[in-house]
Structure 1
């Protein structure tokens, strides 16, 4: 066979392959920009759904609860809202009654159950959680042997300079998300890495390692054994307490030893802090109270311990305030006045005051939101390890 014949055959096969490949590709729709933050802090959202009968924007935290969207001639639904107060927000679309994330937005809220997208309205001056021109730390995903033969996951922040200073060791802050959140939520929704980068750059926080574990052992076991995730227990119920204890055992027996082995930590009580939001705050308080020799710094965001539990399980801690106040460097509690946890947290703080247990507190406006959590994280990070 002549070379020219071979070349012609190869060319024909290439053309045929390209034609088939072209036919196999679905037609591309119009390019969608969503969300679009405008200079005046208004925000435009868009969603392509030519066949939909109704599309709404669900963004209650920025004043757009079930906001109707309008469809144009090619099937793109849109709405402009605001101006929106600078911050990080979650949202989703409701398409003919079905909640969906924004397919044009790659940033999403990590959660076991509901799925929503994230966007940021930048401040007129950079916020504490904004990406700034400062030295940045690293965020790593780690896997460790966990309960019942499962593989656990944690997200680990190391501060700027960690890799450049191999002889230096750092204190560790264990930071736990709330019910249905994942190990990524404090990173992606809470902007922990940017907050720490900025505070460290300003000299307001000590360089520290932040470890963000997953708080739902039962969901992990179910997922890795091919079973459906169990329903969330009623808060402070016996089932919830069993799960609290399982989390505590995993953190103490598996996570902390793994982190101390893998990272350059200052592996002692005074250089170890624990904090959390909502369920993670309850896990924080119980883990710290169950292990008074493990943590010196305790930060509870929108969380409390019931009086009956304090007087029963933790009677030795409550009955000896002088010893307790020497044992901990800081017990910090924050909550918003519109938070559904406000009354329980206020009762908790009043009880600590009566029993002469030292604490710091921060009462803000707002509710059970990551907007408040970022504020609490910013405040506590400046107090730790000093």
Structure 2
């Protein structure tokens, strides 16, 4: 009989597999975080002579030996039966065995991947953001997260090229205007999804217009993210302001977790202007008041954008919603003290906002 060690292997993820490993490896189990000593993080793209394809529109993460340097990552436990599939996902990389130091000081042997050959290239904004979010989600050291945040990206924010992703799981993902998107917040068999609202959709009157089947689950807190407001131009040339979230250490964004009928997902995506590239959907882990954590779908403004204060009307909708659901008093006061911008930035939702502010 095969032993557990023979049936499984440990994999050290330090790039996009800090967070989205379950897109193609649903059975991967997190062991913990660890550091690879004597290596440095690099980014590069495949040379023209390579047969490997890059779907990320920018440099890919790699490691290079460098005494005194450290690369942090996540240690995953995976089935041996998934090894061949993992190798296919990282085509253009070579596998090697390394010793990773766990946070408790213990050592563990892991498989890791290193670009075989590459041309130095900055990562795309989307790829870098995925790494930063994964680092925050897995509580990597603050100084290491700061280094990731400081990495210069190439400004590319578009979705990955799905035609270059060879995976049965990818074919089963939920798709929308932003390209391929897999969401753990979507409960397909039960016909609903969990949605974390932190902007105008915390207001019940406002949200019921878009998603009348919605039911409040609980008040929730999204840690390590701060609330911001962004102004962005639509394809029509019109500019309007929307709430968004950005990774920030020790920050918190409060909101409401809604349970919504799956049939209303396309309508919510349209409200968030996914096809127009205003917002993008993301999965986040939200802490509830009872101490539990749930995976929710939420939306954030796509880069690039410019910070801009909300209009009086838009801000009022959010404050009323915060009071309605009894968000923490200090957080409500922070919302009330937000600076205010001109009313012409409200956008096409003005009539809904006016209705949501009526007594």
Normalized against structure 2, the TM-score is what? 0.29
- Structure (1 or 2) with the greater strand fraction: 2
Q: Relative contact order (C-alpha < 8 Å, sep 6+): which is higher?
A: 2
Q: Which has the higher helix share?
A: 1
Report the TM-score when normalising by structure 1: 0.27
